[in-house]
Amino acid sequence: MWMRSLAHLCGLHKQQTPGSPITTTKYDVGSCAAGYNNQLSPNMSPMQQLTGDGVTQFLRSNPDFLDRFVMEEIELEQLERWIIRRSQKMKKKHEQKNDRKISLSKWKFCVHADKRKMLQDLTTSLEKQPTKDEVLWELASCISSAVDADGFQLILIENADLSRTSIFKGNIKTSLKASKAVIAYVIDKLESVRVSYHQMDSRFPNGSFKDGEEYHVMCQPVVSNGKLAAILELWKIKGKQPFHEEDEEIGMSYLVWGGIALHYADLYFSMNQQKKLNDFLLDVVKSIFQDMISIDKLVKKIMNFAQKLVDADRASLFLVDTKNNQLYATIFDVGLDEEERVEATSKEIRFPLGIGIAGIVATTGEILNISDAYSDVRFNRSIDQLTGYKTDTILCMPIYIQGRIIGVVQMVNKHTGMFTKEDQDAFEMFAIYCGLALHHAQLYDQIKKSEQKYRVALEVLSYHNTCNEEEFKEALGNGIPEKIIGVDDYYFNPFGLKDNEKAKHAIYMFIDLFGLTRFDKNSLIRFTLTVRKNYRRVPYHNWTHGFSVANSMYTIIKHSNNIFSLNESLALYIGALCHDLDHRGKTNKFMLDTASPLANIYSTSTMEHHHFNQTVTILQQEGHNIFSKLSSTEYKEVLDLLKHCILATDLALFFNNKDRLSKILSEDNFSWHNQDHRLLIQAIAMTGSDLSASAKPWEVQVKTVDIIFQEFYDQGDEEKKNGRTPLPMMDRNQTNHQPASQVGFLTGICSPCYTLLHQLIPETKSLLDMCHENLRRWKDIDDNIKEKREAR
């Protein structure tokens, strides 16, 4: 009755039967109520006379009026909120009754959010870039637009661990808006959270925001296959309306479809990764059984694939040297830019097991996945400081074969975020086949080296042999002098002796230094005579040179007041005597350039390694082992020192030894009790003895230089035959380079060497003085040549 009167007073219907339809023109509920109330009580205002029940009854009786009013007067955003709130209430009622029905709002009532377009965008994205990250990005973009957010970001969380988070990307670059407590809550409960800067939330007593942050934030979990894939953080700036329940519902409705897309993205990723693995493993099998590639080529192949497999910026592979407890690599870094790039060192990189990330993995067998390298105390920053490269994330894994670790692969800086559990799983499978491939490649390298050694052995045997019985008896019969005058003089002239006399002198010097109490005289004679035979007849690196170097070392040891131990002295003297055994009169570079079999066996210090191995071969001959009376511990120590001493005669190593020792002396840190320091002075003493011709009187110096250049010219002739251009000092047509080269040689190598030697062994001053005198003479000659050249 009240509603009909209201409608009548407003002029909105024709008087017919009760409940008859109202024909409307202009709809204004306020004016209708005002007219009705004026009729009833002139003393009351319109709003005072209206009641909720009356309006409700009117609207129920006039649905057409309600429909038109809503369509014309109500804002679309407000209408959407009403619909979602209504569906939420229905949903709660169904849940209380255990009704399986769910709210249709998730599927139908999101007017502003066009799910059809969203699904089309997701489908297109999956076709173009079917990755989990791209699906998450598209999904987040849609939700942000649907709820009118000012910004958003995706927070990737690994294994529900808040300490392992990374912001994937957002439409503005920023840090988290909400506090970590909010993020941790979402991870734990897998529930959406809405917070505003001006409201307190009992769930977060310490606050919902960082200090100074003023935003409205909504965080929603993104779940795929029952696992948390990410958290979507959306925000609105201060002054805007906060997020409402219906915004949360909109986001959830998108996430239902997004979860399905993520599931298929994961399937695609897994299938694609498996295909990559299968293709690579097929390549590995082909490489092993068809090409039999070298280990260096295989290492490059493994590093390139490992890098692509986990989307890393760089990769390194280190092999384990179980004998020396070290990791080593000749190819230490692989990175990809426009073209594949491999950085290789000219020499091996080596470091002890247990040092650095790779060293720890090699020792423990533990997989290390480091999200922030600089915050990990195990990380060595020195390489970054040298190269300028910034290491952020690291994935380092061991490679096994037959239950033992043979190598370590280290991937650096994943292009998107951190290395994941999926990266670890994929690489663990790959590492099994890596181990097999490396094992076979190592066997193949060993076979090749054995072949080369066999060729070298045949070559050596065809040229050399041991001393025969007649030579031994003759030397034994002639006897060894009890005293040789002048042999311990730094300026002793080796050119005044015949070859047999040099052998006799070498035996005398050994006995004078070490006696015969612990050494067999017959073995010493045989050993010395065979060493003499194993020097080739080349102009300079022959038996005379070997004897001269041994004589210089004998003199240093003799006058150094026992600063060297017995075993050190043994290694120094025998090392000097044998340091150029079987020298071919060619430089290490020549051996490498001409692909000599020796160069295939020893890639660094080629000839020096060969000289040491020749020494060991002679010691192993029957009746030649002069160390046979030493204990096993002493024997091993002497051999280790002997190798160190012979390798030290490689001039390529001198510069590093010189710099290290000079630094120690300049800082006044040298100690004879420090084993590393003792090894350095031994190396310098070996170099000084090897170059002792530069510290002999002028007549000996000039004769030696003539012989050296004969050998240089012979090598130059060989290089010309092979179509190469020799260095000027090795070209016999450019003899005027001799004085200048000697000035450079004495200035840059000899003088610094004898200066260091004199600082630690003052008794060697004679060597330094004569070196400087010879340098003065060579400078005078070189200056005269330059003056004549300028006068022309």
Between the CA of residue 83 and those of 55, 104, 498, what are the distances in Å?
A: 20, 10, 115
Question: Which one, of 181, 236, 185, 192, lies nearest residue 213 by Cα?
Answer: 236
d(CA 442, CA 457): 22
Question: Which one, of 727, 653, 661, 728, lies nearest residue 690 by Cα?
Answer: 653
Query: Helices marked H in 602-697 — which ranges?
Result: 606-619, 632-647, 651-666, 675-690
d(CA 685, CA 754): 9
β-pair partners for 409: 317, 397
Q: 352 φ, ψ to 5°?
A: -65, 150
Between the CA of residue 123 and those of 129, 254, 261, 268, 552, what are the distances in Å?
A: 10, 14, 8, 13, 83
| Alpha carbon distance, N-terminus to C-terminus of the chain | 135
What is the largest distance, in Å, between two alpha-carbon atoms of the chain? 155
Question: Which one, of 395, 399, 428, lies nearest residue 412 by Cα?
Answer: 395
**588 with 652: CB under 8 angstroms?**
yes
User: Strand 215-224 relative to strand 193-196: parallel, antiparallel, unpaired?
Assistant: antiparallel
Q: Which residues are known catalytic residues?
A: 541
d(CA 602, CA 443): 17
AA identity, residue 623: G
| Burial grade of 556 (CB within 10 A; 0-12, 13-18, 19 or more) | buried
Number of H-type helices and E-type strands within the chain:
29, 11
Between the CA of residue 345 and those of 307, 348, 359, what are the distances in Å?
A: 19, 6, 19
AA identity, residue 243: F
d(CA 767, CA 763): 9
d(CA 695, CA 777): 12
**220 with 192: CB under 8 angstroms?**
yes
Between the CA of residue 786 and those of 347, 380, 438, what are the distances in Å?
A: 39, 52, 58
**77 with 238: CB under 8 angstroms?**
no
Phi-psi region for residue 190, left (φ > 0), alpha (ψ -120 to 50) or beta? left
Residue showing tokens 């012989």: 707
d(CA 354, CA 365): 11
Question: Which one, of 261, 251, 266, lies nearest residue 152 by Cα?
Answer: 251
Which DSSP helix (H) or strand (E) runs through 259?
helix 245-286
3-state secondary structure 183-199: HHHHHHHCCCEEEECCC
AA identity, residue 219: C
Tokens of 422: 């999926």
d(CA 342, CA 349): 15
**Length of the chain, in residues:** 792
d(CA 147, CA 253): 12
527, 530, 532, 538: CA torsion to nearest 10: -140
Geometric angle at alpha carbon 624, from 623 and 625, rounded to 5°: 105
Which DSSP helix (H) or strand (E) runs through 169?
strand 165-170
170, 174, 180, 182: CA torsion to nearest 10: -50
